[in-house]
Amino acid sequence: MTRRTRIRALLSLLVAAACLIAPVGFAAASTVGPATPALRTTYAQIEGTGSTWSELIVQQWIADVDANGMKVVYTGGGSSKGRKDFAQGSTDFAISEIPYQGTDEQGNADTSNGRQFAYLPIVAGGTAFTYQLKIGGQQVKNLRLSGETIAKIFTNQITNWNDPAIAADNNGRAFPSLPITPVVRSDGSGTTAQFTLWMDKSYPSIWRPFYGKSGLTSYYPRQGRAIGQAGSDQVMNTIAGFAGNGTIGYVEYSYPLNKDYPVVKVLNKAGYYVEPTQYNTAVALTKAQINQDPNSPLYLTQILDNVYTNADPRAYPISSYSYMIIPTGSTDPRMTTAKRQTLADFMYYSLCAGQTKAGPYGYSPLPLNLVQAGFDQIAKLKTADPAVDLTSRDVKSCNNPTFDGKNLSKNKLAQIAPQPAACDKTGAGPCGYDTGTNQPSTDGQQPTDGTSQAPAADGTSPPTDTAPVVDSTTGEVVQAAPVDPAAPAADTGTTTTDTTGTTATQPQAAAADFPVPTELAAARPADTKTFSWVAALLLVALVLMPGVMATKLRRRPVRRGQ
Amino acid sequence: MDRRLALTLAFIVSTVTTLTGLGLAVLPAQADPVQRASDSSFTTTKTLTRTFVNDDGSTYEFPANTVTVEASQTKELRGRQRIQISWTGAQPSGGRASNPYGEKGLQQEYPVVILQCRGTDDTSLPLDQQVRPETCWTGSVAQRSQIARSDGEASWIHDAAADPSQKARISGMDPFPSDQCPTADAAELYTHLTPFVAASGKVYAACDSAHMPPEAAVGAAFPPAEIAAFTDESGAGSVQFEVRSDVENESLGCNDKTACSIVVIPINGISCDAPAIPASVSDSACRKGGQFAPGTSNFANQGVDQAVSPALWWSASNWANRLSIPITMGLPPDTCDVLDPRPPTGFYGSELMAQAGLQWSPAYCLDKKRFKFQLNQMSDAAGWNLMESGGGVAAFVSSAHKRTGSEPVGMAPTAVTGFAIGYNIDRPDNAGEYGDLKLTPRLVAKLLTQSYLGSDLGRGHPGMAANPLAMMNDPEFQQLNPGLSQTTQEAGAALLSLSNESDIVDQLTDWIAQDRKAMDFVDGKPDPWGMVVNPAYKKIKLPREEWPLLDTFVPQTSDTCKQNTATVYFTQLAAPVTALRKVSDALLDGWPNVQTKCEFDPTTNTFKQSRVDRQTYGSRFMLGVISLGDAARYGIKTAALQAKEGTFVTPNKGSLAAAVDLMQQEAPATGGKGGKGGNGSEASQSDPAARLAPTADPKPPTGAVLDALTRAYTLDQADVRRSKKAYPGTMVVYTAAKLRELEKADAAKVALFIRTATTEGQQEGAGNGELPAGFLPVRRTGATGKLYRTAQDVADAVEAQVPAPSEEPSPTEQASTPPVDTSTGVDTGSVTEVPSGDVPTDQPVEAVPTSAAPTVVAEPVAMPPTQAVSSELGNRAVPVLLVLGLLGMALTTAVRLFVRPRGPLS
């Protein structure tokens, strides 16, 4: 064979191959891309009830998937109602904070009534403590409390805001005498269950005598001053109302965020007071254990013991997941192929793209392991009904903000989570930042290697504690001695006492290193200055005016007389 | 007074004429219902008789009823669309049920049963395409089957029109499914099954809830649509009937390919065959004519005469009386693919956009050249903050908010819509729904300020013991809306509204603020009937973006439950919610959000307060703030709000356009909302350093032209007060996006969105990318022309992205307002990039030497965030006092100087 013929043969082969491949390629191209109406998935409306803890984001997801032709109806009502409705077969799914309990705290059955189901984690979040506490008409927005203090407040052991334990939590900043009114849920609530579970695990000696037994409850045993309200909305209304001064209640972080209301920074194991932002919740939940036994009825439910004690300085202790309960029986009387498809695609959206908005709405996106586990549960819908199409609905195609395709095992969010500010540490601060704004309180330091790296020289050089100055008349802390040993300019705030006798702080520029310290000054420097000028001027006028008047009055008759 | 009354009356008449002319009574915000209705409305008439065959073979015939049924729209329907069904000439109903839907409506007499059924009423078609009782949807067994009834409850076995097989002891299915339904076949007892045949062909025996289609679960979250509607004493009635497509109800299966019908069965009483001699119990049961007089109610849910009840709608003589309305479902819109790999681009903000967002998003995701648009609803302020912080590419807001960054924000008018006060009010004596509600700012102020007592519990409230219990007892309301029931309901003391910050609340309260009478009331002056404002709200500053719950009154009562759950009563009445959609749902369900139901819960051994029960049909009274989009989509009635004194304007295209005509671009000085309403300290700001920044960019480096793009059009309610046509609740929704430092790709998306939304997005219709009802289309010309032009300019500016200003604000500016400008001057570059909002450590230190005066640097740090706006009074009073003091000084000096020389001169 000559060289030329060889080339010719090669060419003809190539052409032939191209002819063969091209149509296949075109065919492939025509099937990819946006679905054509002919390929449209058939959906049918699904209905659910349950948790108000996760309701705000679920409602947003429902609005989102409407554009995909999915109709989902979710009406809240509380986790207990959700589980009950699902068991009675009146809904297609339920959302609950806790799994079926077998028997509930009152001894009533809490089971699925024989209906086959699976738990599917849908969104993470922090149970926040929102409160209204005013000092001299100013709302406190940076309260911090330890878990023990919180447990004592909700079990009526600490009943006044001037309690020394609260002052101690706030680095000595004392609050005025005002009775504490806990606001609890009156309906069967997963938020209550999460909160009481945390108390039961972390402070059994406080919780159990109050409850009279051990374990969690969905119905808070309200006593004494506490107020019961139905639904998270109403808890929020009661606290934010004008009569709410002195109240504190528990709701998902999204509620105070939505209302622009402060939340308590809760003390974690590392000694930092932190807010349940998406970052702090994500960090805390890295220690969540998931029941991995597929044969257990509690498969995929959460074991949060290590979350409560997570030693990362960023971890928010009372973090948890919400679950969707989906029917997996192949003969489930309510389910059809179209409904299962809707459920599968609704969950696919929620676990993936839907998680991107968890942060802005006050929740925290689910990490990979839970998304992965969620897909395993969705797969059960296909097991029940082979006609369900799960093609391409997997982790790889998932638009979830906590992981990227390159390294699936890392929780991206927990890695970029900012470290808490130095003034958030026990014995320091408190920071002047407002809470409930979805902004992490931080000095801007971020770990580079993912290990917990506390900001500021922790332990080695304890904060130079200047005793807070309390105004003798109002009981307000007017200076909280913002001292950060790590700050470059070590000269701390200079305390000046001006003519009006009010103590005010004028920290130097270096103080701007960390969040602005406690702000509850009885007066601002600018105010006192201007007011003292005004006072002086008025005094001068007061002294001079009678004389002038007298002169004027004395002279008049003289003029007339002339 | 008389003249005013006459004027009001004249106005009412004119409003009524306008309303009826537009056919707006039920679809208030509907864009052009007349034209739409005429497209596919449907009318049919039938004469109904009831005859008894006497034992001698003669017949007795009751007077005939000639019933005419009209449907507002029958073609191209969408799932959950509500169409109006009205009728005349029917037998007046009696024993009205508190809820006419589903099985709750069974205990009524002579109602009009309205069902959605698969198939059409055409005997020429094959049987499976014909409408039959077996293809008619009901949500419960009791509505379709009679199981094991005694002969006193078996009147259908004497139906003169029925086939003999239908009169057997057990009937309805052949062979009878005794194995499936063992309890149905009981000796001596009568059973009739009306099985349901699903679209798939599957037959459900309908003998118990286990043998019903999946959509018919007991206690389902989705309420039933089928209704046993009430006919008033003149023989007329009307309802909004919700149509379900195969997406909502797969078993019923109505879609663009499967024809369906709405079957209207006016219950006229069963015609009975010849009785046995002597007449059996069932014979006389068949001949009963009802226990309830026309117009009466049966809220106690007592038993009714079966022969005239809706339970036997399937019985031959009732079924023969049916009037069928053929309907066609529209093509389902093309929808986005859930597998679309493109990440969604979120626009955050106003819930007013909800309905438009639903229709618009498929038009973006289905086009490869566009992007995946997504509307994330949250408060305007939260959306704005996300947009500024870079969390969202753009925000939907209805006003320019306080800027926290230094980048100019373009405001592109995108949609004209607004809010409405939606209501459910029934006229007394079952005379139908009230459709002509008028509200003055003072009435709304009374509701918002919680000045109605609610119930006797509220009487102990100090300072307003003599006030009416609720709106229906208020003479002002009665004069304006005559002829309504005066029976007090707690829901009549509340306007269900939003609990969080919103531009809607701002506009609603601004409408109140511009009314002298309303403000006199708020400021403490009693109204002409002696009603005073709740002292807790006296002199509340209006307008405001967030309505606070200010009352603290806890009633004293002897009720054990209320004692145990003592809480602020008026807060339980108001119970605001976080989303407009929840208000719409509450109105649709007739379920006020009043949280005063107090009961003992035996399972937990505690007392608790919760939401009251649903209101009963015939005595509903509820008001709530909703979006015009929702009002149009769900057919919620909307109140006419007062514009010019004595003029009440309903939301419609004309009144929205009239309001747009009044709108003007706000002056730069009022560019920020944050300072408004005195709630600045509560405004959510992300960045403590930036919080001290000025409300408006001190010297925008971009020139006056660009500056105009950052300003919103505002509807001055003072202008509305002078107009007779403008609807006070009109609001423009803007797409707000940064004109600087927005990523190029995002900027292109936003510009594309603005251009698309203001052109093809303004085509009215129910299709993908079209503008839904409840919105006024933005056009190149006419009233909305200015909005269109601004939108295009902003789109260009967003796409172009203005370069960053070449220089920092000049030192002289810093000196003039030291506490503010220093921080911004230092931070201009850093504020946006540091999410925590911290001032980086080194910058202030560096700033010390370079800054003009070190004390100036210390100042901004010394001012903690909440104090910046801690005392507005102080801020204003100090300079005033200062000036007064100086004036005093000057005066004394002047007097001295003036007086002294005159002495010697004279």
Asked if the Cβ–Cβ distance from A489 to B845 is below 8 Å, we say yes
Decide: B523 and B564 in contact? Cβ < 8 Å: no
pLDDT digits (tens, 9 = 90+) for B141-161: 999 999 989 888 889 999 988
> pLDDT tier at B664 (50, 70, 90 boundaries)?
confident
In chain B, which residue's Cα lies nearest the Cα of A486? B841
* E-strand stretches of A109-173: 109-110, 117-131, 134-135, 138-139, 144-145
The pLDDT value given to residue A507: 34
Tell me the C-alpha to C-alpha distance, in Å, between residue A400 and each of A319, A391, A404, B205, B837: 19, 18, 8, 46, 26
The pLDDT value given to residue B66: 94
What is the pLDDT averaged over residues B420-428? Answer: 92
Instruction: Give percent of chain B above pLDDT 90.
Output: 35
Greater confidence (B604 vs A177) lies with A177
- The full length of chain A comes to 562
Task: Check pLDDT > 80 for residue B38.
Answer: no
The pLDDT value given to residue A542: 86
A472 Cα to chain B: minimum distance (Å): 21
Task: Check pLDDT > 80 for residue A248.
Answer: yes
Of B247, B377, B578, the CB nearest to A44: B247
Strand partners, B626: B420
A10 Cα to chain B: minimum distance (Å): 39
Of B838, B864, B885, the CB nearest to A432: B864
Greater confidence (B92 vs B679) lies with B92
A399 Cα to chain B: minimum distance (Å): 7
The pLDDT value given to residue B875: 66
Residues of chain B positioned with their CB less than 8 A from the CB of A437: 684-686
- Greatest mean pLDDT among A220-229, A379-388, B856-865 lies in A379-388
Asked if the Cβ–Cβ distance from B838 to A233 is below 8 Å, we say no
B872 Cα to chain A: minimum distance (Å): 12
The pLDDT value given to residue A360: 85
Q: In what order do the strands lie in the sheet with A144-145?
A: A144-145, A265-267, A273-274
In chain A, which residue's Cα lies nearest the Cα of B211? A333
Query: Residue B143 carries which DSSP code?
Result: T
In chain A, which residue's Cα lies nearest the Cα of B903? A559
Asked if the Cβ–Cβ distance from B221 to A242 is below 8 Å, we say no
Of A393, A516, A530, the CB nearest to B864: A516
Counting one residue from chain A and one from chain B, the pairs whose CB atoms sit within 8 A come to 334
Residues of chain A positioned with their CB less than 8 A from the CB of B854: 509
Number of neighbouring beta carbons within 10 Å of residue A117: 23
Asked if the Cβ–Cβ distance from A336 to B882 is below 8 Å, we say no
Task: Check pLDDT > 70 for residue B700.
Answer: no
- Of A120-134, A162-176, B657-671, B773-787, the poorest mean pLDDT is in B657-671
**Average confidence score pLDDT of chain B:** 80
pLDDT digits (tens, 9 = 90+) for B522-554: 999 999 999 999 999 999 998 988 898 888 888
B318 Cα to chain A: minimum distance (Å): 31
Residues of chain B positioned with their CB less than 8 A from the CB of A243: 549, 551-554, 568, 571
CA B607, CA B610: separation in Å to the nearest integer?
Answer: 10
Residues of chain B positioned with their CB less than 8 A from the CB of A85: 219, 221
Task: Check pLDDT > 50 for residue B418.
Answer: yes
- The full length of chain B comes to 906
CA A40, CA A44: separation in Å to the nearest integer?
Answer: 13
Which H or E run contains A4?
helix A3-31
Residues of chain A positioned with their CB less than 8 A from the CB of B354: 63
Decide: B230 and B237 in contact? Cβ < 8 Å: yes
Residues of chain A positioned with their CB less than 8 A from the CB of B563: none
User: Which residue, among B508, B57, B546, has the nearest Cα to B274 in the 3D structure?
Assistant: B57
In chain B, which residue's Cα lies nearest the Cα of A530? B878
In chain A, which residue's Cα lies nearest the Cα of B347? A357
Task: Check pLDDT > 80 for residue A491.
Answer: no
Which among B380, B449, B589, B836 is the top mutation candidate for probing chain A, defined by the most A β-carbons within 10 Å of its own β-carbon? B836
Rg (CA), chain A: 31
Does the model's pTM come out above 0.90?
no
> pLDDT tier at A404 (50, 70, 90 boundaries)?
low
Of B608, B861, B870, the CB nearest to A138: B870
> For residue A113, what are its two tokens?
């009534």
Residue type at position B215: E
Residues of chain B positioned with their CB less than 8 A from the CB of A45: 222, 247-250
> pLDDT tier at B369 (50, 70, 90 boundaries)?
confident
In chain B, which residue's Cα lies nearest the Cα of A338? B250
Task: Check pLDDT > 70 for residue B735.
Answer: yes
User: Which residue, among A378, A359, A506, has the nearest Cα to A121 in the 3D structure?
Assistant: A378
Helix axes of A190-202 and A79-87: crossing angle, nearest 10 degrees: 110
Asked if the Cβ–Cβ distance from B609 to A399 is below 8 Å, we say no
In the block, tokens 């749902």 appear at: B585
Of A108, A222, A513, the CB nearest to B841: A513
> pLDDT tier at B899 (50, 70, 90 boundaries)?
low
Task: Check pLDDT > 60 for residue B876.
Answer: yes
Greater confidence (B688 vs B81) lies with B81
Asked if the Cβ–Cβ distance from B595 to A230 is below 8 Å, we say yes
The pLDDT value given to residue B220: 62
> pLDDT tier at A408 (50, 70, 90 boundaries)?
low
The pLDDT value given to residue A556: 62
Which among A30, A234, A239, A514 is the top mutation candidate for probing chain B, defined by the most B β-carbons within 10 Å of its own β-carbon? A234
CA A554, CA B275: separation in Å to the nearest integer?
Answer: 120
CATH class of B337-417+653-826: alpha beta
CA A205, CA A157: separation in Å to the nearest integer?
Answer: 12
- The ipTM estimated for the assembled molecules is 0.70
Asked if the Cβ–Cβ distance from B899 to A555 is below 8 Å, we say yes
pLDDT digits (tens, 9 = 90+) for A96-119: 988 888 877 677 788 888 888 988
In chain A, which residue's Cα lies nearest the Cα of B375? A64
Decide: B865 and B689 in contact? Cβ < 8 Å: no
Task: Check pLDDT > 90 for residue B651.
Answer: yes
Tell me the C-alpha to C-alpha distance, in Å, between residue A7 and each of A10, A18, A391, B291: 5, 16, 44, 101
The pLDDT value given to residue B93: 92
Of A63, A333, A399, the CB nearest to B214: A333
In chain B, which residue's Cα lies nearest the Cα of A142? B866
Which among A43, A58, A105, A229 is the top mutation candidate for probing chain B, defined by the most B β-carbons within 10 Å of its own β-carbon? A229
Q: Where are the domains of chain B?
A: 38-327, 337-417+653-826, 427-432+440-619
What is the pLDDT averaged over residues A527-542? Answer: 79
Beta strand B345-349 with B373-377: parallel, antiparallel or unpaired? parallel
The pLDDT value given to residue A36: 39
Residues of chain A positioned with their CB less than 8 A from the CB of B248: 44-45, 71
The pLDDT value given to residue A58: 92
Which among A237, A332, A527, A554 is the top mutation candidate for probing chain B, defined by the most B β-carbons within 10 Å of its own β-carbon? A237
Of B565, B603, B867, the CB nearest to A228: B565
Decide: B40 and B682 in contact? Cβ < 8 Å: no
For A547, counting Cβ atoms within 10 Å of its Cβ (0-12 exposed, 13-18 middle, 19+ buried), the class is exposed
- Residues B611, B614, B615: CA angle, nearest 5 degrees: 125
User: Which residue, among B345, B347, B348, B350, has the nearest Cα to B732 in the 3D structure?
Assistant: B350
- Of A238-242, A393-397, B746-750, the poorest mean pLDDT is in A393-397
The pLDDT value given to residue A406: 62
Task: Check pLDDT > 70 for residue A371.
Answer: yes
- Of B55-59, B274-278, B360-364, B849-853, the poorest mean pLDDT is in B849-853
The pLDDT value given to residue B491: 92
In chain A, which residue's Cα lies nearest the Cα of B368? A34
Residues of chain B positioned with their CB less than 8 A from the CB of A548: 892, 895-896
Which among A62, A439, A492, A549 is the top mutation candidate for probing chain B, defined by the most B β-carbons within 10 Å of its own β-carbon? A439
What is the pLDDT averaged over residues A111-134? Answer: 89
Residues of chain B positioned with their CB less than 8 A from the CB of A350: none
The pLDDT value given to residue B693: 36
In chain B, which residue's Cα lies nearest the Cα of A478? B864
The pLDDT value given to residue B414: 93
The pLDDT value given to residue B185: 84
Of B609, B834, B881, the CB nearest to A534: B881
Task: Check pLDDT > 60 for residue A523.
Answer: no
Asked if the Cβ–Cβ distance from B221 to A334 is below 8 Å, we say no
Residues of chain A positioned with their CB less than 8 A from the CB of B339: 35, 392-393, 397
The pLDDT value given to residue B7: 46
Residues of chain A positioned with their CB less than 8 A from the CB of B348: 360
The pLDDT value given to residue B861: 34
Which among B339, B365, B610, B614 is the top mutation candidate for probing chain A, defined by the most A β-carbons within 10 Å of its own β-carbon? B339
Task: Check pLDDT > 80 for residue B463.
Answer: yes
